[in-house]
Amino acid sequence: MMILETPRLYLRHYINEDIHALYPMFSDPETMRFYPSHFSYQQTQQWIQRNIERYDRDGYGLWAVCLKDTDECIGDCGLIKQHVNGTTEVEVGYHISKEHWSKGYATEAALACKEYGLYQVGLFRLISIIDPGNIASIRVAEKIGFHKEKEAVIFNKNHYIYAFVQATESITPNIECSPI
């Protein structure tokens, strides 16, 4: 099921066959250097399954990011509930395979997910949990209007919490992004 469409991408629910695109990304030590470790095949399957379960439970999760031109799955991006200092927050999370880094795909997908969270889900606050050394992820968060709010220990290590808080008045979305 497609969720969002941007000028170059579409985001859709994961399917089990996404293992073929995601395992090479999640098993790559360079791509996963800011995670505790890269993923095994089984961990990648579990990642897909957890997100499929989130769609039913939460109404959202991480979605497959696909190129419109080729239908290739190049990563994931979406909304995911996280616990930060005893509070449940909704994070905009993103992973793009390194073959597609530095092309603006993470920013394009993350901005669409931010706007989906604000205008479709009705959230007023979103965060991104970022390893302090992950400069590329920090740049993506800043490009979509997030600002460093604080630091917190999550997953047993220090992370920056970048946040976006919606003003109370209604605002029109920034990009051409169509919920499907």
Distance CA 148, CA 150 (A): 6
Query: Token digits for 91?
Result: 């994070």
Give the pLDDT of residue 98: 96
Averaged over successive runs of 10 residues, the pLDDT of the chain (180 residues) comes to 93 96 96 91 97 96 98 97 95 97 98 97 97 97 98 94 83 50
CATH number of 2-175: 3.40.630.30
Give the pLDDT of residue 35: 87
| Residue 105 Rama label (left phi>0; alpha psi -120 to 50; beta) | alpha
Whole-model pTM? 0.91
Give the pLDDT of residue 37: 87
Which ranges in 4-40 belong to alpha helices (H)?
19-26
* Cβ-based burial of 90 (10 A; exposed 0-12, middle 13-18, buried ≥19): middle
